[in-house]
Structure 1
Amino acid sequence: MFPPVKIISPRFEIREFGPQDAAAVAAFVAAGDRTALPPGSPDTLADVDRWLAETLPRRRSSGDGLHLAIVERSTGTIVGSIGLRDTDWATGRTEIGYGTHTSQRGRGCATEAARAVGQWALTDGGMRRVQLHSRLDNMASLRVAEKAGYQREGTLPVAEKDGREAHDLAIYSMTSTGTTAPQP
């Protein structure tokens, strides 16, 4: 299981979602814009408290992964989320995913968070490999991976299906034995 997470980067505190985030999560849900929230976040306001109090801790305690809030240190505003999933403890591998609120895109939030969480996972998190996948047509996500210091390893042909259409995925990684993210 991952140790408790609180990562401080130059602009952000990256930490686990908790009950203190109920109002912010509810505002995202009420606005119908969950781009700052992780996959599996609540669909309705009635589900917010249960998601924060039960669903996220259960996911964490099972060792499956983490959903973390990207919180702007200067304002306390949640600008996005980042998480670790599909963790294989035997090999020390996990996958990172991220998203930022529409209003925060283009500010380097995801890049800074992906770099910080990747470095944390390879040190305090006990991982040897952090990987991420991005659709080839998601140029913003590809730029985040590269700017955060992840190394492109190749392409997984027709690896994701969106409706009836299959998409190729670029695969990136950061490892404990060779890939070091550049410092800001």
Structure 2
Amino acid sequence: MFPPVKITSGGSEIREFGPQDAAQVTAFLAAGDRTALPPGGPATTADVDHWLADTVHRRRLDGDGVHLAIVDTVSGDIVGSTGLRDTDWAAGSSEIGYGVRTDRRGRGHATEAAGAVARWALTAGGLRRIVLHARADNAASLRVAAKAGFHREGTLRLADWDGETAHDLAAFSMIATDL
């Protein structure tokens, strides 16, 4: 089980999605824009309330991972999401992911969130290793990983499938001694 997450870093608050986010999450889905939502987020607007009230918290309590909103502290807008998944407590490892709304990219939100959540996971979260995979052809995501303090370990050849084409993944990690 992960402890509750609430991190303030830079101009962002990084916290678990909750019922207070229903209007924004519903608006993202209604607009067809899932860029601010994590994988495994609600599929339709009808799913939003259940996802916010139950699924998000169950994931943390079960120790599977966490779904976190990246919230601009000035505007209160959800600008993206980050989280941990594929947590292996025996190995002390989890994979981090992130996504930022198209209209909020390039402002450091992903870098700040990825670094802050990784630091939290390696301290209060009780983990030893955080893994990050980014498509090798995604220059922006590669920059996020490096700027957030992750170390590149190599390339996983043709490890990602987008439904049409296989892509290489860059493999990164962060461990407690990197902090």
Q: What's the TM-score, normalizing by structure 2?
A: 0.97
Q: Does 1:35 align with 2:11?
A: no
Q: How far apart in 2 are the matches of 1:52 and 1:107?
A: 27
Does 2:122 align with 1:122?
yes
CA displacement 1:105-124 (0-9 Å, x = unmatched): 00010001111111111111
Letter of the aligned partner of 2:79 in structure 1? V
Query: 1:167: Cα distance to partner?
Result: 1.2
Matches within 5 A, 1:37-76: 37-76=37-76
Distance 1:90 1:161 in 2: 28
Q: Which of 19-28 and 163-172 deviates more? A: 163-172
Task: For residues 84-127 of structure 1, give each alpha carbon's deviation from its aligned partner in whole angstroms, at most 9, with x where no partner exists.
Answer: 00111111111100000011000010001111111111111111
Equivalent-residue separation in structure 2 for 1:7 and 1:79 (angstroms): 15
The correspondence of residues 1-184 of structure 1 with structure 2, limited to 5 A, is 1-177=1-177, 179-180=178-179
Residue deviations 1:42-98, cap 9 Å, x none?
Answer: 222111101111221222222110000001111111100000001111111111000
Structure 1 length normalisation: TM-score? 0.94
Can you give the 5+ residue segments of structure 1 that lack an aligned partner in the other structure? none
- Partner Cα distance (1:81, 1:7) in 2: 13
Letter in 2 for 1:4: P
Q: Secondary structure at the match of 1:28?
A: helix
Deviates more, 1:36-45 or 1:98-107: 36-45
CA displacement 1:103-160 (0-9 Å, x = unmatched) = 1000010001111111111111111111100111111111100011101000011111
Task: State the Cα RMSD in Å.
Answer: 0.9
Q: Which amino acid aligns with 1:140?
A: A
Cα offset, 1:171, TM superposition:
0.4
The structural deviation recorded for 1:20 is: 0.7
In structure 1, the residue corresponding to 2:169 is in which secondary structure?
strand
Residue type at the aligned position of 1:175: I
Q: How many residues align?
A: 179
Secondary structure class of the residue paired with 1:69: strand
Identity of aligned residues (%): 69
Runs of 4+ in 1 over 3 A off after TM superposition: none
Between the aligned partners of 2:150 and 2:163, the Cα distance in structure 1 is: 29
